[in-house]
Structure 1
């Protein structure tokens, strides 16, 4: 039986070589545009806009949301038709840069998905939702995404350690049951066996043949998981252009070369 995939802008996640996702962490429109231009010079076909890193001077959720919607059309135009845009607001609970109430998180992501501003329709290709947030918010975001043809990354980040293999496998499967097209886990290793735990969980879920997922062991210790993703069943890896968004991210061009060298 062939493993299921998820397709966005002609990019088929879960088939052949893992995709490289480059995060954009610019704090204002100029920095965002500059980093996006650098990303388009790499082989990465998916770009992640880290909304929690954008406009840290705007503490009010509505003002921040308006600034995001204002910046979106120019970013989408710069990326062109062949690169997918993933939008992510990483909360402080999972290693993000700023807090946001679950309700406000839902409003922000639904606004981006549905294009509630002239010029933003169909600008967002993928959306990340932390599956540990309030169940109702997670359900609403996933439902809105599926109504508008947006691919859902359902994510969980453990910034303190690495749960057991059984827990990691169940987390990924539970995210799939919630409706995530691409379940994602990122964990923190404290030794080589933690990295092996993450990789073994990734293989176990890949053997379900239920669709693509992303599994990452963070930090320098977990770098192996970022470049050997294909061997262990992960559909994508995150790599940086300039400033990264998580511990242990490697340069996008370096990762592209290593993915080719390590193809099974």
Structure 2
């Protein structure tokens, strides 16, 4: 699977709290054949147990077969489920990188930059793709700020730069779309952007026009406000595809 070409790809999140819930969700999701699965390990109750994390990750990999895995620990400050220190966050990410079960890792942009760079290098040494991210659940920054954040991710070595924002108005959604279009023209790396909530749903289906290469759809429980079901999202993206 190649991000950044053709129709935006679709990722479906797994948010199970136990190993058995995770594997059951994976079986259901695999039957729907999304392009990518995002394992939200901040939902997993044993995420801080390295051995259990690796064991479950390998079971998940086996269950999904050829479907690529993006592994994400979303910190509390960016909308995640569990409060961790930066040291704990980076240790969990390192465990994921070296375990061999994931194809890509989400790395949050706004941690210590030296630690972020070191994590990016370690991921690349282990052939793990880095999707660097920033999530603003309170507001939509201005267009220059959004483009600047995405640009800084690329400068830090991201293979894909991701930004999610919360709109308070239709103008905010337009700001996110304009920023996406600008960054898509200025940066070589693929981008993932979205405006969250009901107001922002249009941004989840218009990526092919504005330059966002991946959209997140749900099978069962979603992981963020405004996610559209996989079946509906697939239909919408196909309807809006460029000839």
User: Do the two structures share a fold, i.e. TM-score over 0.5?
Assistant: yes
Q: 2:42 aligns with which of 16, 32, 52?
A: 52
Residue 153 of structure 2 corresponds to 175
Give me the whole-angstrom Cα distance separating, in 2, the residues matched to 1:38 and 1:220.
26
Q: 1:74 aligns with which of 59, 62, 74?
A: 59
Q: 1:37 aligns with which of 15, 27, 30?
A: 27
- Gaps of at least 5 residues in structure 2 are none
For residues 78-117 of structure 1, the C-alpha deviation after alignment (integer angstroms, 9 at most, x for no partner) is 1102x110000000010001111111111111111112xx
TM-score (norm 2): 0.97
How far apart are 1:136 and its partner, in Å? 2.6
Residue 113 of structure 1 corresponds to 97
Give me the whole-angstrom Cα distance separating, in 2, the residues matched to 1:239 and 1:190.
22
Give me the whole-angstrom Cα distance separating, in 1, the residues matched to 2:115 and 2:34.
30
Give me the whole-angstrom Cα distance separating, in 1, the residues matched to 2:191 and 2:2.
12
TM-score (norm 1): 0.89
Q: Tell me the secondary structure at the aligned position of residue 134 of structure 2.
A: strand
How far apart are 1:135 and its partner, in Å? 1.6
Q: 1:198 aligns with which of 146, 170, 176?
A: 176
Matched-pair contact (CA < 8 Å) for 2:151–2:187: no
Q: CA RMSD in A?
A: 1.1
Q: 1:125 aligns with which of 65, 84, 103?
A: 103
Runs (4+) of structure 1 exceeding 3 A deviation are: none
Residue 208 of structure 2 corresponds to 230
Deviates more, 1:182-191 or 1:97-106: 97-106
Matched-pair contact (CA < 8 Å) for 1:172–1:205: yes
Give me the whole-angstrom Cα distance separating, in 1, the residues matched to 2:88 and 2:51.
12
